[in-house]
């Protein structure tokens, strides 16, 4: 069967329409036959073509009539529960597809954000041109990741509390404050909120006494730390050349007040596309990349 991109609209050419009709009718009957056999169910179909007044019927006139009569015997309410006409069917399909698309978009955005965060940690933050919106989202993502971190840490602490029992006072001291500090605090809504994170910071400081986990096979000194941001790189000096911020993207999918994503904006696509393409262009370079694209942050600019 050929796989060509078919535009679903009325075929104006008479002979093409007729031949398409015949082919598809055949395929359609095959499908309904398979459905009835595989699922062991009753079914019937009636097709009126524009070319004849007698309908094409499956499975046969007598069988089909039986199914129809049975159908008409049941109360209208039950008939209509799963009844759909052409328009309704199309609308339902559109809605479902739209939902899937939004889900996919959100997943993709999440992945892009995550990857962006990692790039920063690798010291490659210089490859990005970020808008404020990007930065906000990035912070939110970092925040989210930190929450997961805390959560997992709590799990570990609880576990080891069980293992070490009451004798480990360090572990003990940590359990309670952990519960207070983490539950209900959103650590980083704004720079001032850093202060609220302090109790948690003290908590972490306690862990200098914490016995390294038996599973810590890598050893503390051998680990490479994630390189933070790009403070090694001159890009943090803010010689922004306004010209280098192109009009390429505007941000993430807008969620309107009623929670509907505005799919017609190009923003959503361009947002990730830009990040992703930036990453893909640079992903193989280990060192500080020589930017081919001179539109990016220019360190040569005074």
Partner 1 sequence: MGRQRIPMVRIKKETHRQVTFSKRRAGLFKKASELCTLCGAEVGIIVYSPAKKPFSFGHPSVESVLDRYLSRNNLSITQTEKPQGNAAASSSVLNVELTQIVSQLEEEKKKGQAMAEMRRANAVRWSMTNWWERPVEEMNMVQLREMKSALEELWKIVVSETSTARQLGLRM
* Near partner 1 by CB under 8 A: residue from 175, 180, 213, 255: 213
Contacts of 286 (CB under 8 A, 6+ apart): none
| CA 293/CA 291 separation, integer angstroms | 5
- Write down the least CB distance from residue 53 to partner 1, Å: 8
- Contact code string over 95-134 relative to partner 1, x by CB under 8 A: --xx-xx--xx-xx--xx--x-xx-xxx--x----xxx--
The two three-digit tokens of residue 269, written as one number: 């696509």
- 191-207 CB burial, b ≥16 within 10 A, e <16: eeeeeebeebeebeeee
Interaction of residue 234 with partner 1, rule CB under 8 A:
no
Q: Which of 2, 4, 13, 34 binds partner 1 (CB under 8 A)?
A: 34
Q: Taking the alpha carbons of 99, 101, 245, 192 in that order, is the dihedral positive or negative?
A: positive
- Return the range that interacts with partner 1 (CB under 8 A); candidates 162-170, 176-184, 203-211, 294-302: 203-211
- Using CB under 8 A, which of 161, 172, 207, 270 touches partner 1? 207
By CB under 8 A, tell whether 136 contacts partner 1: yes
Binding-site string for partner 1 from residue 37 to residue 66, where x marks contact by CB under 8 A and - marks none:
xxxxxxxxxxxxxx--x-x-x------xx-
Q: Any idea which residue has 């989202």 for tokens?
A: 137
Region 158-187 residues binding partner 1, contact defined as CB under 8 A: none
What is the closest distance, in whole angstroms, from the C-beta atom of residue 148 to partner 1 in the complex?
5
- Asked whether the beta carbons of 271 and 251 are under 8 A apart, the reply is yes
For partner 1, the binding residues in 275-294 under the rule CB under 8 A are 276, 279-280, 283
Please tell me whether residue 280 adopts helix, strand or coil conformation. helix
Min CB(257)–partner 1 separation in Å: 22
Q: Which two tokens stand for residue 267?
A: 């923003």
Among 173, 255, 263, 299, the residue binding partner 1 under the rule CB under 8 A is 263
Six-digit token pair at 54?
Answer: 């007698």
The residues facing 255 across adjacent strands are: 261
Q: Is the dihedral of CA 187, 193, 195, 196 positive or negative?
A: negative
Residue 27 sits in the site that holds partner 1 (CB under 8 A): yes
Interface with partner 1: number of residues (CB under 8 A): 126
Q: Does 195 bind partner 1 (CB under 8 A)?
A: no
- CB closer to partner 1, 42 vs 60: 42
Nearest residue (CB) to partner 1, 180 versus 213 = 213
Distance CA 69, CA 61 (A): 12
Nearest distance from C-beta of residue 168 to partner 1, angstroms: 13
- Write the interaction track for partner 1 spanning residues 71-100; mark x where CB under 8 A is met and - where it is not: xx-x---xx-xxxxxxx-xxx-xx--xx-x
Q: Which is nearer to partner 1, 154 or 291 (CB)?
A: 154
What CA–CA distances, in Å, run from 59 to 28, 77, 100, 190? 12, 26, 35, 68
Positive/negative CA dihedral, 13, 14, 17, 22: negative
Q: Are 175 and 157 in contact (CB under 8 A)?
A: yes
């Amino acid at each position: 069967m050929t796989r060509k991109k078919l535009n679903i609209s009325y075929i104006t050419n008479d002979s093409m329409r007729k031949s398409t009709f015949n082919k598809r009718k055949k395929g359609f009957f095959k499908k309904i036959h398979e459905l009835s056999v595989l699922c062991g169910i009753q079914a019937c179909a009636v097709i009126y073509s524009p070319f004849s007044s007698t309908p094409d019927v499956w499975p046969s006139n007598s069988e089909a009539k039986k199914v129809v009569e049975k159908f008409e015997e049941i109360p209208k309410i039950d008939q209509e529960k799963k009844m759909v006409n052409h328009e309704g069917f199309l609308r339902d399909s559109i809605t479902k597809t739209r939902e899937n698309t939004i889900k996919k978009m959100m997943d993709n955005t999440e992945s892009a954000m995550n990857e962006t965060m990692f790039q920063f940690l690798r010291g490659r933050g210089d490859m990005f041109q970020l808008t404020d919106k990007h930065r906000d989202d990035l912070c939110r993502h970092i925040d989210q990741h930190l929450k997961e971190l805390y959560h997992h840490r709590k799990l570990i602490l609880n576990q080891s509390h069980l293992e070490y029992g009451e004798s480990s006072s360090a572990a003990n001291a940590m359990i309670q404050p952990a519960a207070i500090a983490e539950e209900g605090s959103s650590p980083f809504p704004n720079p001032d909120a850093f202060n609220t994170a302090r109790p948690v910071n003290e908590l972490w400081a306690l862990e200098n006494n914490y016995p390294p986990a038996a599973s810590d096979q890598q050893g503390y000194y051998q680990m490479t730390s994630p390189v933070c941001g790009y403070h090694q790189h001159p890009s943090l000096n803010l010689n922004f050349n306004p010209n280098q911020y192109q009009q390429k993207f505007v941000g993430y999918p807008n969620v309107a007040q009623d929670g509907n994503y505005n799919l017609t904006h190009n923003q959503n696509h361009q947002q990730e596309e830009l990040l992703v393409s930036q990453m893909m262009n640079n992903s193989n370079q280990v060192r500080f990349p020589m930017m081919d694209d001179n539109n990016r942050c220019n360190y040569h600019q005074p």
